[in-house]
């Protein structure tokens, strides 16, 4: 066990969840109804499919903003920095998804096209437009929804590690390990690391609410 990651897990589990807004509540309730309340690998992949979407929406909006502002170089540069950050977060969520999917395939868990392919894509489609629309109305609304989503993900991953002490003894091996984090030795630490990433994503959204970079 990596000491720092265990400390981070304890920090998450010792802190309250955010008071989630109505949209986030509907999303989490809907996921519990469709996929069950239990934390499972499958349910996490659904979370990860949806998690990338706000960053895609913001990147898209920022690109349009750059088209209209490239004549003000300072402003355009700030927008471009924002685009780069959104891309990095998207990529980070992508590694989460690839690693989880690889784990599911290795374990030979049952497939359901409807539940694990089609439904998440539909939810992601709607979530993209909600994120985009909220951003157009007031970027803070979109960041707040994402902070709720990331806070939920952070807690779910850390709880999952607590519920499964056997993961402390399971070595972590993956085709994507070098791309993601070579220092991870157990599956428990992998999930702690993912949970910590979600906290960083949350904190980045909260920082933007406090001090919007542009708009």
- What distance in Å separates the CA atoms of residue 45 and residue 77, rounded to the nearest whole number? 34
Tell how far CA 80 is from the center of its chain: 21
Work out which of 152, 193, 201, 208 binds Fe ion, going by CB under 5 A: 201
> Is residue 156 a contact residue for Fe ion (CB under 5 A)?
no
Q: What residue spans of the chain are helical by DSSP H?
A: 3-13, 22-35, 41-51, 53-69, 73-107, 113, 119-137, 139-163, 177-180, 187-210
**186 phi/psi in degrees, rounded to 5:** -120, 160
> Is residue 189 a contact residue for Fe ion (CB under 5 A)?
no
Question: Which residues between 6 and 45 bind Fe ion (CB under 5 A)?
Answer: none
- The piece of 1-9, 26-34, 65-73, 85-93 that touches Fe ion (CB under 5 A) is 85-93
Work out which of 5, 49, 50, 51 binds Fe ion, going by CB under 5 A: 51
Output the smallest distance, CB 165 to Fe ion, in A.
23
Provide the 3-class DSSP secondary structure of residue 138.
coil
Number of residues counted as binding Fe ion (CB under 5 A): 7
**x/- site string to Fe ion, residues 86 to 125, per CB under 5 A?**
-------x--x-----------------------------
**176 phi/psi in degrees, rounded to 5:** -100, 5
Tell how far CA 175 is from the center of its chain: 21
Cβ-contact 182, 137 below 8 angstroms: no
> Is residue 198 a contact residue for Fe ion (CB under 5 A)?
yes
Based on CB atoms, which residue is closest to Fe ion, 65 or 156? 156
Enumerate binding residues for Fe ion (CB under 5 A).
Answer: 48, 51, 93, 96, 150, 198, 201
């Amino acid at each position: 066990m990596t000491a720092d990651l265990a400390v981070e897990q304890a920090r998450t589990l010792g802190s309250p969840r955010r008071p989630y807004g109505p949209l986030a509540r509907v999303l989490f309730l809907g996921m519990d109804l469709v996929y069950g309340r239990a934390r499972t690998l499958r349910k996490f992949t659904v979370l990860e499919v949806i998690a990338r979407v706000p960053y895609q929406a913001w990147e898209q909006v920022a690109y349009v903003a750059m088209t209209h502002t490239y004549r003000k170089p300072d402003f355009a540069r700030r927008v471009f920095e924002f685009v780069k950050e959104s891309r990095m977060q998207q990529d980070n969520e992508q590694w989460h998804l690839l690693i989880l999917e690889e784990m599911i395939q290795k374990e030979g868990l049952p497939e359901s096209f409807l539940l694990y392919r089609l439904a998440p894509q539909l939810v992601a489609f709607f979530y993209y437009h909600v994120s985009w629309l909220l951003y157009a109305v007031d970027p803070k609304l979109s960041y707040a929804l994402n902070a709720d989503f990331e806070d939920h993900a952070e807690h779910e991953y850390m709880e999952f590690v607590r519920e499964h002490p056997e993961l402390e003894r399971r070595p972590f091996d993956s085709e994507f390990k070098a791309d993601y984090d070579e220092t991870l030795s157990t599956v428990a630490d992998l999930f702690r690391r993912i949970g910590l990433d979600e906290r960083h994503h949350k904190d980045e959204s909260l920082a933007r609410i406090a001090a919007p970079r542009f708009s």
